[in-house]
Amino acid sequence: MARKAKVEAKAPVGAVLVVGGGIAGIQSSLDLANAGFKVWLVEKGPGIGGVMARLDKTFPTNDCAM
Partner 1 sequence: MECGRHSDIELLPLTELTSVEGSAGDFTVTLEQKPRYVDPALCIACGACAEKCPKSVKNAFDEGFADRKAAYILYEQAVPLKYALDPDHCIYLQKGKCRACEKICPTQAIRFDDQPKIIKAHVGAILAAPGFKPFNPTVCEPYGYGVIPDVVTGMEYERLLSSSGPCHGHLTRPSDKTEPRSVAWLQCVGSRTTTGAGSPACSSVCCMYALKQAVMTGAHTKGAPDLSIFFMDLRTHGKGFEEYGESAKAKGVKLIRCRPHSFLPGPEGKGVDIRWADETGQEQRRTFDLAVLSVGLAPPRDASDLAAKLGLTLDERGFAKTSGFDPTAASKPGVFVSGCFHSPMDIPTSVVMASAAASAAAKTLAQSRGTLIPAKVTPPVTDVSGETPRVGVFVCSCGTNIAGVVDVAGVVEYARTLPYVAHVENNLFSCSQDTQGRIIQAIRDQSLNRVVIAACTPRTHEPLFRETLMAAGLNKYLVEMANIRNQNSWVHADEPEAATTKAKDLTRMAVARVVRLKPLVEKTLSVNNAALVLGAGVAGMTAALDLADQGFPVTLVERADCLGGNARSLRTTSRGERIADFLSDLALKVRSHDRVTVLTEANLTHVEGFVGHFTSTVRQGRTSLKIEHGAAILATGAVQTRPKEYCYGRHPAIMTHLEMDRALTEGLDPHTIHEAVFIQCVGSREPARPWCSRVCCTHAVKLALHFKEKNPNCRVAVLYRDMRTYGERELLYHKARKLGVLFVRYELGAKPRVSIKNGGVRVIVRDHVLDRDLEFRPDVLGLAAAIAPPDTDKVSRMFKVSTDAHGWYQEAHVKLRPVDFATDGVFLAGMAHGPKALDEALAQAQAAAARAAQILCQTEMTLSGITAQVAEAKCVGCKMCVTICPFKAIAMNDKNLAEVNEAMCKGCGLCTGSCRSSAIALRGFTDQDLMAQIGAMFSDQESRP
Q: Report in angstroms how near the CB of residue 23 gets to partner 1 at its nearest.
A: 6
User: Which is closer to partner 1, CB of 2 or CB of 12?
Assistant: 12
CB atoms within 10 A of CB 60: 5
Residue 63, Ramachandran bin (φ over 0: left; ψ between -120 and 50: alpha; else beta): beta
Question: Using the rule CB under 8 A, is 3 a contact of partner 1?
Answer: no
Q: What is the rounded distance in angstroms from the CA atom of residue 22 to the CA atom of residue 47?
A: 10
By CB under 8 A, is residue 5 in contact with partner 1? no
Using rule CB under 8 A, residue 63 touches partner 1: yes
Binding site for partner 1 (CB under 8 A): 10-63, 66
